[in-house]
Amino acid sequence: MKMVVAVLRHTELQRVQEALLALGIQGMTVSEVKGFGRQGGYTELYRAAEYAVRFLPKVKVEVAVPDGRLQEVLQAIQGSARTGQVGDGKIFVYDLLQVIRIRTAEKGEEAL
Amino acid sequence: MKMVVAVLRHTELQRVQEALLALGIQGMTVSEVKGFGRQGGYTELYRAAEYAVRFLPKVKVEVAVPDGRLQEVLQAIQGSARTGQVGDGKIFVYDLLQVIRIRTAEKGEEAL
Amino acid sequence: MKMVVAVLRHTELQRVQEALLALGIQGMTVSEVKGFGRQGGYTELYRAAEYAVRFLPKVKVEVAVPDGRLQEVLQAIQGSARTGQVGDGKIFVYDLLQVIRIRTAEKGEEAL
Amino acid sequence: MRSATVLASVLLLASRAWASEDLSAGDTAWMLASTALVMLMGPGLALFYGGMVRRKNVLATLMHTFVILCVVSVVWVLWGYTLAFGPDRWGLIGSLRWLGLKGVGQGPSGYAPTVPHLVFMAFQGMFAVITPALVTGAFAERMRFSAVVLFAALWATVVYSPVAHWLWGGGWLSNLGALDFAGGTVVHINSAVAALMAALVVGRRRGFPKEPMPPHNLPMTVLGAGLLWFGWFGFNAGSALASGGLATLAFVNTNTAAASAALGWALAERLQRGKPTALGLVSGAVAGLVAITPAAGFVSPLASVPIGAVAGLLCYLAVGLKHRLGYDDSLDVLGIHGVGGLWGALATGLFARLTLNPAGADGLLMGNPSLLLRQALASGAVVLYSALATWAVLKAVGLVVGLRVSEEHEVVGLDLSQHGESGYHF
Amino acid sequence: MRSATVLASVLLLASRAWASEDLSAGDTAWMLASTALVMLMGPGLALFYGGMVRRKNVLATLMHTFVILCVVSVVWVLWGYTLAFGPDRWGLIGSLRWLGLKGVGQGPSGYAPTVPHLVFMAFQGMFAVITPALVTGAFAERMRFSAVVLFAALWATVVYSPVAHWLWGGGWLSNLGALDFAGGTVVHINSAVAALMAALVVGRRRGFPKEPMPPHNLPMTVLGAGLLWFGWFGFNAGSALASGGLATLAFVNTNTAAASAALGWALAERLQRGKPTALGLVSGAVAGLVAITPAAGFVSPLASVPIGAVAGLLCYLAVGLKHRLGYDDSLDVLGIHGVGGLWGALATGLFARLTLNPAGADGLLMGNPSLLLRQALASGAVVLYSALATWAVLKAVGLVVGLRVSEEHEVVGLDLSQHGESGYHF
Amino acid sequence: MRSATVLASVLLLASRAWASEDLSAGDTAWMLASTALVMLMGPGLALFYGGMVRRKNVLATLMHTFVILCVVSVVWVLWGYTLAFGPDRWGLIGSLRWLGLKGVGQGPSGYAPTVPHLVFMAFQGMFAVITPALVTGAFAERMRFSAVVLFAALWATVVYSPVAHWLWGGGWLSNLGALDFAGGTVVHINSAVAALMAALVVGRRRGFPKEPMPPHNLPMTVLGAGLLWFGWFGFNAGSALASGGLATLAFVNTNTAAASAALGWALAERLQRGKPTALGLVSGAVAGLVAITPAAGFVSPLASVPIGAVAGLLCYLAVGLKHRLGYDDSLDVLGIHGVGGLWGALATGLFARLTLNPAGADGLLMGNPSLLLRQALASGAVVLYSALATWAVLKAVGLVVGLRVSEEHEVVGLDLSQHGESGYHF
Ligand SMILES: Nc1ncnc2c1ncn2[C@@H]1O[C@H](COP(=O)(O)OP(=O)(O)O)[C@@H](O)[C@H]1O
Ligand SMILES: Nc1ncnc2c1ncn2[C@@H]1O[C@H](COP(=O)(O)OP(=O)(O)O)[C@@H](O)[C@H]1O
Ligand SMILES: Nc1ncnc2c1ncn2[C@@H]1O[C@H](COP(=O)(O)OP(=O)(O)O)[C@@H](O)[C@H]1O
């Protein structure tokens, strides 16, 4: 099994989620993160103080998938998260040694 | 070494932590996430707008463990996080290439 | 490619970021976490209730790096995040099977 | 001789008492307090709206109301007050005689003979502030800041001042016999029609209505509603322009209608969707406050119960319309202030009783249908004028500074893109 | 002849002055302001409580107070006021003569001869609102919304109105000579006993006392305390029912006791646990406000210092009891309002001075032990009645709609499960 | 004979009217309301400051103002009031005749002949509270709690009370003819100079100025500013010490200057950096409120526009200084209250008009340069005294309890390390 971790713009989360649902993916875990990259930030002004905001809010999506479905999942995410502007984000793929569903103690692909 | 990542209900975090302490586990890292899965969500109503809340608040626990302790850790988490209701969450296991303790520069299992 | 994940004190984040920029690292992803470890916590008091706060706020930094740059990145983080007090945090290293830049569909080290 | 001296001193006393009766310390105390209370409705409205938008736009939304408090306060002192309340010209507008508050001083005025002219001016100024501030709910989360500033200055001058003059400054609608105790028509119908025009001219938010846009901080909205309710006591009971029985009547009606309307809205939610909500409860309270506004000094406390309850119900039904009709009146100014205000204007025509307020009239339930007609007419006139004039103001603003931020800035959020700030660093 | 005319006009003047003395604009201004201030204690309390619960229950907690403001406002106008203040029946309850505010108008009343009857009614109505709202702190985070609504309506009718009548409406406790300037017994002891009953009948929160349940937003609680302090000036100084020296005395005592009690609590924390806390400081302030409530118009500012300081100390000690005794009075209504209110009632019996207020009495320190006895007796009577009647109300509510949400809903949180909303989308 | 009786009763009436004119219900109503409003500036300031600090210090920052409200309220009743306003000794200080409020009662005082002495005392007490509370902005995020408590008690005694006496208690500066309507010199210049001393003595925050320290919750700051603006109506218009024309003038000037200054600051930001900010808008409003404070009862509403606008501009420029000069006045007390207060003191010397207030004077623009001189002299005297006396107070506090928390505690945050609490559990 693989863990697909994508860092996205907030605005694209809904489309990504729909693309994954369309593939029959049944679960995912999402968290708030801040990203630093090529995308230019903003300058924040507080009275006399100026701060360059280099960390922009992004959303991180984690989806565990069976090996056989990795490619279509990657394509679905990349297709639906893309706006073409700098800052669209990245997808990272990890190997997953084991998955357990806590409720049933099912293991491996059955647990997804 | 392995990284054990569990997505749990907030209400079970304390029991999980106690179960791990009981095993002698000395550290963990926790974060807030939102989960989407088989567990049914709620409908939120704001004036005339209705939204299906498909993402439910969950808590993510990350514990790095020596290879030899993986099984007991998995069992401890699974045992203490289980309520039997849909939405209990999942445990994911990754391989860890390296761990460094920043304070001492200790490496590997010593750093845990 | 490797994913370097460091759990740090908030106060050291800026120095770590500068150290990585100095190495020419162009991107990273940051999130808020709570850490439990050897570092002593605080006691919170709310009227008659006392709670031991064992989870302390930490910050998690994720940096994907080409294999060849792993060592210098580890050193940069360890050097800049260290205060020498208990609670400085840990660095975890994972193997990364794949990285994709969503905007361009570039893959692998090119995507970093 | 002694008697003469006594008499003289009695007369002296009499003249003093007379003079101090001209300007009443008690009435002035209440008008000062009321003016402060209405000012607090500004921050109250800012929070009410600010909690309902998405996190990335919270500061911009707060600033809308705050900057209008600033802009219109100055405009009012300079020229707004004289346009609205200066000596009447042809029933349409005030003359410029009181430009820059010339002649508006510490002595009384014809509008309120027992309090300083300046406090009447300040009290009315707070109404001129809150009315365009209400409009901002329609174009929240996408309007340029400079457009808001310009809009407020123009709209207060071209729309608010004339309409206030028509009903309160001796203009044609008051001569017609229409009643508006504290601004159901002048403030609420007026701002709601302007809001609809703004929603149409400015256009929908990106993503509306598909993308979920839940309120980012409802406790903030509840606090805002609480401050609005509190401030509304000044708004309505202060509109008696004196302390005393009439102010008290308006005060009691205000509280009763707000309470009834909140329950009405919550009940409707409960019946239709199974759950009363916090946003519904406070929205209902505001709807009731709106509806009782024109009626507050003309109806009995018992009449405030149905006036409020119906307001809660009607406004609950009305806020659904925008999804069906497709305009994006983001924070429901039309649904709450328009529908509530119109119902209140008509309810005044139904429930008013001359015995409660000799400056009022009898309504339909007391056997006098003509008042209802006059209320409808006044509302209609304001709807028409406000729609046209607001349209013109928006077009002018659009030409000068542009109404809307760029799509990229809308996505990032107004706080960061327009103001270089984030609401929260948590 | 000329002299006769002068005399006539002097007499005319006299009669006018007389008439305007009947209804005082200044007194009415202060009572209107006070009523508004007490209303603001509603939102203040909502925030005070709302900040102390867990995030998932913030809206439900805010709604408790808000919906009670709505429900009791209507109940009061319809039947609550006449039950509490209508012409006395057997020293126990008011008659129904003023049902639906019949005969309660813009003229003065026997209760407060210089202000409109309606403002006395409204002022008292705000007390009827805040008292059951205080109770909600006991059953926070687990009560059904419909149960809260029904509880409030019944409790205001069956518990609050009679008790208010006994002490303030010409009932048996006032005839007995017990003093309660602004509600130490009627409001605080009464609500605290009801709170204890509610905590016992409804049962503990899931996880209490093992699971940590820290306040989710203490700045919200601090803001709430600030608004409570501010509103309490209306509560206590308004209870003089007129502007002037007595109102001023109550005002000064209120501020002094709140300050002293906050310091008392913080000092106790510092001594016992090393750290004064923000929650302690504001809880202490509220404890002091509670304690001075019955005494505010009867004691000197210097006496307010020990009254406050002891209140802070006692209530600090009292909030620990629930953990030892095992009941879950979630937000410490008993510990603060019960202990503070009882101490205040007795302190009135200690520190009262007839020279400060001719309508009062001398206390023990002035050599009169009988007042202390009467204070204890009145408190005891209210404790007894409130306990029994509240128990009956809770049982009735339980039968009709059920008191508690399901365990699953409690775990998810009331906001989502009962109201379909989340407090924050951050 | 009949005539005699009539006369007698007329005389009786006269004497009654006389008596009731001595103590005016209306004036007292306004002074009670004003005192409550100034008290609310405490929570307002707490939120204004609390939103600007980092999340880890929010409770500590809120507590600074809250505990000062408590400490100084008690100090004022015990000895502060008599030092500031007790019968004059050598033009420098009040005697101890009114220690513990002895002789300060429900009757009028020489300071304000139509309201109870006690309300004058309470009103002035709120000024004594807010002044040291303003200072806390300078040492936010690093001061020990016990040091804040001790500092407040000492500073109120040693710095505030004498300075208040000099200008308002019959001391040498008022004899000199310097004007300070509501505290530009006594409150704002005084606190700002103390703030600068505190910033210098306590030292910079760890990380200042390199590390970004953005405000953690700007909506909280905006709410605080809204409450400050609202409360300032009591501060300035209450300083007329009576209801009426003068209070109204001060009220209108307050609102106009706040609005103008907010626009001035926002415009300056827009011109210099392209973006007006929410923090800038509300900071500007506060700057305008500060600047109009000494002038509010002496100048015309039209003059308030430039007074405000210039204040906004000047303070915007001033807050930048600290980065250049290197001292860490964390929340810009000097930049806003110092610069705004000084400008206001001088502006009074420019714009004052005797015709508006016979107790005032003519300023430079009316052809009288001497007032300006007297204003500068009074400001200078206060700057000097406040700097020296504050320095001494800080040294004393440092010796007794230590000023600063340990570096480790500063890093963790004051909430957890000093108070054992977290502001938010989200
Ligand atoms: N080397 C990296 N390691 C971890 N996260 C990264 C890395 N590079 C980029 N990111 C994440 O991807 C986001 C987008 O990257 P950015 O360079 O701004 O745009 P793009 O991916 O379009 O080139 C960043 O905000 C950051 O969260
Ligand atoms: N494929 C997946 N990848 C990542 N996280 C998942 C996946 N499936 C489920 N989860 C996480 O596990 C949580 C529980 O899953 P759910 O299907 O609701 O219940 P259960 O695990 O009891 O079957 C989800 O809320 C989500 O956070
Ligand atoms: N086994 C572990 N798994 C995951 N995270 C850990 C583990 N041990 C420690 N951590 C993280 O590292 C942080 C610092 O650890 P701690 O033991 O307090 O100090 P130090 O690393 O200096 O020994 C913890 O707060 C926690 O977030």
- Whether residue E19 is predicted with pLDDT greater than 80 in this model: the reply is no
pLDDT of amino acid E14: 37
- Distance (Å) from CA A36 to ligand 1 centroid: 6
Q: Which of A31, A46, A50 to mutate to test the interface with F (most CBs of F within 10 A)?
A: A46
Contact F217 D419 (CB under 8 A): no
Q: Which residue has the tokens 């409802």?
A: D218
**Other CB atoms closer than 10 Å to residue F100's CB: what's the count?**
16
Average pLDDT over residues F8-17: 37
Tens-digit pLDDT profile for residues C10-46: 889 989 999 999 999 989 999 999 999 988 778 999 9
Distances, alpha carbon D9 to alpha carbons D3, D247, E13, F10, F22, in Å: 10, 35, 14, 11, 17
Contact F297, F246 (CB under 8 A): yes
Contact D294, D179 (CB under 8 A): yes
pLDDT of amino acid F211: 86
pLDDT of amino acid F14: 37
Query: Does E378 fall in a domain?
Result: yes
Give the minimum alpha-carbon distance from C54 to chain E in angstroms, rounded to a whole number: 12
Selecting from C33, C55, C81 the residue whose C-beta is nearest the C-beta of B102 gives C81
Give the minimum alpha-carbon distance from F31 to chain A in angstroms, rounded to a whole number: 35
Selecting from C33, C84, C94 the residue whose C-beta is nearest the C-beta of B29 gives C33
Tens-digit pLDDT profile for residues F47-56: 999 999 999 9
pLDDT of amino acid D2: 37
- Whether residue D18 is predicted with pLDDT greater than 80 in this model: the reply is no
Chain B residues close to A17, C-beta within 8 Å? 36, 54
Q: Which residue has the tokens 């968290």?
A: A31
Closest residue on chain D to B54 (Cα): D212
Query: Does E320 fall in a domain?
Result: yes
End-to-end Cα distance, chain E: 83
- From the number of C-beta atoms within 10 Å of its C-beta (0-12, 13-18, 19+), residue E421 rates as buried
Tens-digit pLDDT profile for residues D121-178: 999 999 999 999 999 999 999 999 999 999 999 999 999 999 999 999 999 999 999 9
Chain B residues close to D323, C-beta within 8 Å? 48-49
How many domains does chain D divide into? 1
Contact C35 B26 (CB under 8 A): no
Contact B46 D214 (CB under 8 A): yes
Average pLDDT over residues D382-392: 98
**pLDDT-above-90 percentage for chain F:** 92
Contact E116 D227 (CB under 8 A): no
- Distance (Å) from CA C106 to ligand 3 centroid: 35
Q: Which of D70, D78, D222, D405 to mutate to test the interface with F (most CBs of F within 10 A)?
A: D70
Q: What are the structure tokens assigned to B3, written together?
A: 């990284």
Structural domain of C14: 2-111
pLDDT of amino acid E159: 98
Query: Does D307 fall in a domain?
Result: yes
Contact D421 A14 (CB under 8 A): no
Q: E strand or H helix at C70, and its extent?
A: helix C70-81
* Residues contacting ligand 3 via CB (< 6 Å): B 27-29, 62-64, 101, 103, 112; C 7, 35-39, 56, 58, 86-90
How would residue E20 be classed by pLDDT, with cut points 50, 70 and 90? Answer: very low
- Distance (Å) from CA C39 to ligand 3 centroid: 8
How many domains does chain C divide into? 1
Average pLDDT over residues E157-180: 96
Q: How many whole angstroms separate alpha carbon D271 and alpha carbon D276?
A: 9
> Helices in E92-203 by DSSP H: which ranges?
117-135, 145-155, 161-168, 172-175, 190-202
Average pLDDT over residues D403-425: 95
Chain B residues close to D213, C-beta within 8 Å? 49
Contact B40, A29 (CB under 8 A): no
- Distance (Å) from CA B99 to ligand 3 centroid: 11
* Residues contacting ligand 1 via CB (< 6 Å): A 7, 35-39, 56, 58, 86-90; C 27-29, 62-64, 101, 103, 112
Give the residue numbers in D contacting A (CB under 8 Å), as ranges: 207, 211, 411-412, 416-417, 419-422
Check CB contact of F243 with chain D, cutoff 8 Å: yes
Q: Which chains touch F (3 or more CB pairs under 8 A)?
A: A, C, D, E
Check CB contact of C42 with chain F, cutoff 8 Å: yes
Q: What are the structure tokens assigned to F412, written together?
A: 């963790």
Query: Does D88 fall in a domain?
Result: yes
- Whether residue F17 is predicted with pLDDT greater than 90 in this model: the reply is no
Q: How many whole angstroms separate alpha carbon F27 and alpha carbon D29?
A: 7
Query: Does E234 fall in a domain?
Result: yes
Chain D residues close to B48, C-beta within 8 Å? 319-323
pLDDT of amino acid A39: 85
Chain A residues close to D211, C-beta within 8 Å? 14
Selecting from A11, A14, A44 the residue whose C-beta is nearest the C-beta of D422 gives A44
Query: Does F270 fall in a domain?
Result: yes
* Mean pLDDT (chain D, rounded): 94
Task: Quote the Cα angle for D320-D322-D325, to 5°.
Answer: 115
Chain B residues close to E209, C-beta within 8 Å? none
How would residue F360 be classed by pLDDT, with cut points 50, 70 and 90? Answer: very high
Q: How many whole angstroms separate alpha carbon D288 and alpha carbon D268?
A: 14
- From the number of C-beta atoms within 10 Å of its C-beta (0-12, 13-18, 19+), residue C85 rates as exposed
Among A4, A20, A29, A98, residue to substitute to test ligand 2 (most atoms within 8 Å of Cβ): A29
Question: What CATH code is carried by the domain that includes residue C32?
Answer: 3.30.70.120
pLDDT of amino acid A42: 84
Tens-digit pLDDT profile for residues F382-393: 999 999 999 999
pLDDT of amino acid B22: 95
Give the minimum alpha-carbon distance from A31 to chain F in angstroms, rounded to a whole number: 14
Q: How many whole angstroms separate alpha carbon A6 and alpha carbon A19?
A: 14
- Whether residue E61 is predicted with pLDDT greater than 90 in this model: the reply is yes
- Whether residue B26 is predicted with pLDDT greater than 80 in this model: the reply is yes
Query: Does D425 fall in a domain?
Result: no
Using the atom order of ligand 1, give the atom closest to the CA of residue C27: 8
Contact A31, A80 (CB under 8 A): no
Tens-digit pLDDT profile for residues D335-365: 999 999 999 999 999 999 999 999 999 999 9
Question: What CATH code is carried by the domain that includes residue D245?
Answer: 1.10.3430.10
Q: Which residue has the tokens 């007391």?
A: D366
Average pLDDT over residues E177-190: 97
pLDDT of amino acid C11: 85
Check CB contact of A86 with chain C, cutoff 8 Å: yes
Tens-digit pLDDT profile for residues F174-219: 999 999 999 999 999 999 999 999 999 999 999 999 888 999 999 9
Chain A residues close to B36, C-beta within 8 Å? 17, 27-30
Check CB contact of A45 with chain F, cutoff 8 Å: yes
Long-range contacts at E360-365 (CB < 8 A, ≥ 24 apart): E360/E179, E360/E297, E360/E298, E361/E177, E361/E179, E361/E298, E363/E298, E363/E299
Contact B42 E411 (CB under 8 A): no
Q: Is A112 touching ligand 2 by the criterion CB < 6 Å?
A: yes
Q: How many whole angstroms separate alpha carbon E68 and alpha carbon D263?
A: 10
Contact C42 F417 (CB under 8 A): yes
Ligand nearest to the CA of B12: 2
